[in-house]
Homo-oligomer: A and B are copies of this chain.
């Protein structure tokens, strides 16, 4: 079996399997549904590094008590427009989903609401929470800090996370869904390059000596072992404004880490650390109608986006994409044709089924 061979699995079957795994590990039914939906959404949208490939880690963390299946979120402070939550080491998806529901509920009444969440875990794709706002004609925001992989400008050690920012904006034809790590690339992309044995482009990461890291093994060694060198912030080097990506990463850590009082920077637990991660999130919803009639706003966004798409193309290109467009098209396709899983991921899921004595639907 080649390590890049894939198996195709029906999205609903995949989700059903995740639900049964999580339930077997004492995650309540509705929370298992939430978590599974968000994991499979990542695979549907082409962000595989945040999808079911992470289930083995979740299983391990739940079984070892490093993440709690039965956590009950507690409120630390609450106003009509703000929420400070303690996730009590719950699954990140559960904490973020419930917090975003609260933000939307509050924003319906107050126009705007933000939530800062401490003591949480990896929450999957940030875009999922931002997109929850779209159905309510709201603008959604989601951020999270993450374990340290990114080197700040003029620094030499990886002490900031790839700290994603997602923003979703409603429109009739072209909702805008920006979902980006604040590094040039997320670590998942490095794993893809590792799997395909491709050289790493200059500008993505630096090695222990501060020189461009040209292979993914070097990057993995830098961030997980020697702790010198690592991923570069968006913008790359100082000359090409990497301090802006560094600033965005730090901003996410301030709002997700310092504001709720979660771990920050080098203290955030990694997926392999045998302890709770204490990750923090920052989420929000803004009701368009609190500013301007939502119908007019959506028309303006569609018009703006149509003009960008119709503008002149670079040589060799026939299409300008809007953020979220590729992912939406892929999701529609994969809902019909199934989700491709690398053989290793598929095998890992079979292993979980065996371990938990579950009937695997992934035949």
A16 touches B (CB below 8 Å): no
A235 to chain B: which residues have CB within 8 Å? 184, 234-236, 245
Cα A352 to Cα B175 with chains together (Å): 47
A244 to chain B: which residues have CB within 8 Å? 178, 180, 234
Cross-chain contact B116 with A114 (CB below 8 angstroms): no
The answer to whether A240 and B79 touch (CB under 8 A), given A259-B292, A292-B84, A312-B156, is no
A287 — nearest CB in chain B belongs to which residue?
Answer: B82
Cross-chain contact A156 with B323 (CB below 8 angstroms): no
The answer to whether A157 and B311 touch (CB under 8 A), given A82-B290, A258-B300, is yes
A320 to chain B: which residues have CB within 8 Å? 152-155
A347 touches B (CB below 8 Å): no
Cross-chain contact B304 with A254 (CB below 8 angstroms): yes
Cross-chain contact A176 with B251 (CB below 8 angstroms): yes
Question: Considering the complex, which residues of chain A in the window 154-210 have a beta carbon less than 8 Å from any beta carbon of chain B?
Answer: 154-157, 159-160, 167, 169, 176, 178, 180, 184-185, 201, 203-204, 209-210
Cross-chain contact B314 with A203 (CB below 8 angstroms): no
A276 touches B (CB below 8 Å): no
A247 to chain B: which residues have CB within 8 Å? 178, 180, 323
Chain A interface residue count, CB cutoff 8 Å, equals: 83
A308 touches B (CB below 8 Å): yes
Which stretch in A17-25, A52-60, A261-269 binds the other chain? A261-269
Cross-chain contact B234 with A259 (CB below 8 angstroms): no
A4 touches B (CB below 8 Å): no
Cross-chain contact B156 with A292 (CB below 8 angstroms): no
A68 touches B (CB below 8 Å): no
Cross-chain contact B112 with A261 (CB below 8 angstroms): no
Question: Whole-angstrom distance from the CB of A298 to the nearest CB of chain B?
Answer: 9
Ordered by A's residue number, 23 sampled pairs between the chains whose C-beta atoms are within 8 Å are A77-B290, A82-B291, A84-B291, A152-B311, A155-B320, A156-B311, A156-B314, A160-B308, A169-B251, A176-B250, A178-B248, A178-B251, A180-B241, A201-B239, A234-B244, A236-B236, A250-B322, A253-B304, A258-B300, A259-B288, A259-B292, A264-B300, A265-B304
Leading 8 A-B pairs by shortest Cβ distance: A156-B312, A154-B317, A178-B247, A258-B300, A82-B290, A203-B240, A157-B312, A247-B323
